[in-house]
A and B are shown apart, each in its own frame.
Chain A
Amino acid sequence: MKTKDGVEINEEIKWKDICPGGTVAYPGSADLFKTGDWRSMKPVFKAGECKQCLLCVPVCPDSSIPVKDKKRLDFDFDHCKGCGVCVKVCPFNAIDFIKEGK
Chain B
Amino acid sequence: MAIRDRLSGNEAIAIAMKQINPDVLAAFPITPSTEIPQYVSQYVADGEVDTELILVESEHSAMSACIGSQAAGARTMTATSSCGLALMWETLYIASSIRLPITLALVNRALTGPININADHADSMGARDAGWIQIYSENNQEAYDNFIQAVRIGEDKEVQLPTMVCQDGFITSHAVENIELIEDEEVKAFVGEYIPVASLLNAKEPIAIGPYDSPHYYIEHKRQQAEGMNKAKEVILKVAEEFEKVTGRKYGLFEAYQLEDAEAAIVIINSTAGTAKAAIDKMRKEGKKVGLLKIRVFRPFPHEEICDALSHLKAIAVMDRSEGFSSIGGPLFAEVRSALYEAENRPMLINYIYGLGGRDVTTTHIEEVYNQLFSMINKNQTGQVYRYLGVRE
A residues neighboring B (CB under 8 Å):
4, 9, 11, 13-16, 18, 20-27, 29
Contacts and interface: CB of A to CB of B under 8 A. Distances in A.
B216 A11 contact: yes
Contacts of A29: 208
Interface residues of B, number: 25
A11 B214 CA distance: 10
A-B pairs, 5 with minimum CB distance = A24-B208, A15-B220, A15-B223, A21-B99, A21-B98
A32 B223 CA distance: 26
Given A24-B208, A25-B205, 4 more contacts: A15-B223, A22-B221, A23-B98, A24-B207
Highest count of chain B CB atoms <10 Å: which of A15, A21, A25: A21
A17 to B, nearest CB: 9
Interface string B187-227: 00000000001100000011111110100110111011101
Highest count of chain A CB atoms <10 Å: which of B197, B211, B213: B211
Given A21-B97, A21-B98, A22-B213, A16 B206 contact: no
A61 to B, nearest CB: 16
Contacts of B210: 21-22
A22 B211 contact: yes
Contacts of A13: 217, 220
B192 to A, nearest CB: 21
Nearest to A9: B217
A14 B98 contact: no
Nearest to B160: A20
B221 A21 contact: yes
Main secondary structure of the interface of B (DSSP, over half): loop
Nearest to B96: A21
Contacts of A27: 206-208
Contacts of A9: 217
A25 B98 CA distance: 13
Given A21-B98, A21-B99, A23-B98, A16 B224 contact: yes
Given A15-B223, A25-B207, A27-B206, A20 B197 contact: yes
B208 A20 contact: no
B209 A21 contact: yes
Nearest to B198: A23
B224 A18 contact: yes
A20 B99 contact: yes
A7 to B, nearest CB: 12
Contacts of A26: 206-207
Nearest to B209: A23
A81 B174 CA distance: 57
A10 B193 CA distance: 36
Nearest to A12: B216
Given A23-B198, A23-B207, A24-B211, A18 B98 contact: no
Nearest to B98: A21
Contacts of B221: 15, 18, 21-22
A83 B206 CA distance: 28
Contacts of A18: 217, 220-221, 224
Nearest to B216: A11
A20 B100 CA distance: 10
A38 to B, nearest CB: 13
